[in-house]
């Protein structure tokens, strides 16, 4: 083989390797951008760190939290939402980026109370087949202010919720828990 032909062959091989690397780097960049956009604006995984949502959610469950639907409508009673701690919890030492998960019990304008082991919404007892046990502490009626929600954990007697720290501002809501993907034996929609 003529020396300059060998050099040309090596140069083509090097160029081909470089193009493959470029393609791979572009694909990785696109994948990272898509992952960032999906996690930021559409859905993200979350881990359940406590027993406050028993029996619905267990410590260690992993969920998908969707972030789109609340741009079109507000949370409704019964939705399980993930949110950033309100100002009162932050004053108590919870970091702003620590996510909480609770069930929406009251929307703006509704009146919430707890008496005789039942949660009342606008004077009517809620049918709550999802709770661990009836709440054991009474709670005087409160009206949910505009732009805020009243949230409670399903494990009523072991939940740090609106009964203790007040109302949840809508702007603190991250999204709605929709799907449990871990553990595998409990996989499914919530």
Residue of 14, 16, 50, 52 with catalytic role: 52
Residue of 67, 102, 107, 162 with catalytic role: 102
Q: What are the structure tokens assigned to 183, written together? A: 């553990």
Active site residue 118: no
Q: Tell me the C-alpha distance between 100 and 106, whole Å.
A: 17
Contact residues for 113 (Cβ-Cβ < 8 A; gap 6+): 119, 120, 138, 139, 140, 141, 142
Active site residue 6: no
Contact residues for 179 (Cβ-Cβ < 8 A; gap 6+): 63, 64, 188, 189, 190
Residue positions annotated with a catalytic role:
52, 102
């Amino acid at each position: 083989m003529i020396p300059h032909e060998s050099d040309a062959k090596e140069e083509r091989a090097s160029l081909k390797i470089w193009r493959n690397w470029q393609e791979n780097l572009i694909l990785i960049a696109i994948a990272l951008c898509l992952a960032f956009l999906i996690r930021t604006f559409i859905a993200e995984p979350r881990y359940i760190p406590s027993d406050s949502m028993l029996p619905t959610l267990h410590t260690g469950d992993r969920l998908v939290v969707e972030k789109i639907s609340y741009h079109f409508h507000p949370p409704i009673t019964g939705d399980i939402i993930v949110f950033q701690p309100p100002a009162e919890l932050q004053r108590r030492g919870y970091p702003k980026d620590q996510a909480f998960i609770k069930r929406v019990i009251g929307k703006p304008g509704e009146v919430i109370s707890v008496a005789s082991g039942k949660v009342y919404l606008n004077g009517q007892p809620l049918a709550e087949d999802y709770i661990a046990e009836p709440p054991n502490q009474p709670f005087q009626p409160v009206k949910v202010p505009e732009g805020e929600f009243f949230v409670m954990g399903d494990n009523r007697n072991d939940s740090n919720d609106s009964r203790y720290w007040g109302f949840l501002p809508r702007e603190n809501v991250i999204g709605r828990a929709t799907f449990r993907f871990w553990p595998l034996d409990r996989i499914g929609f919530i």
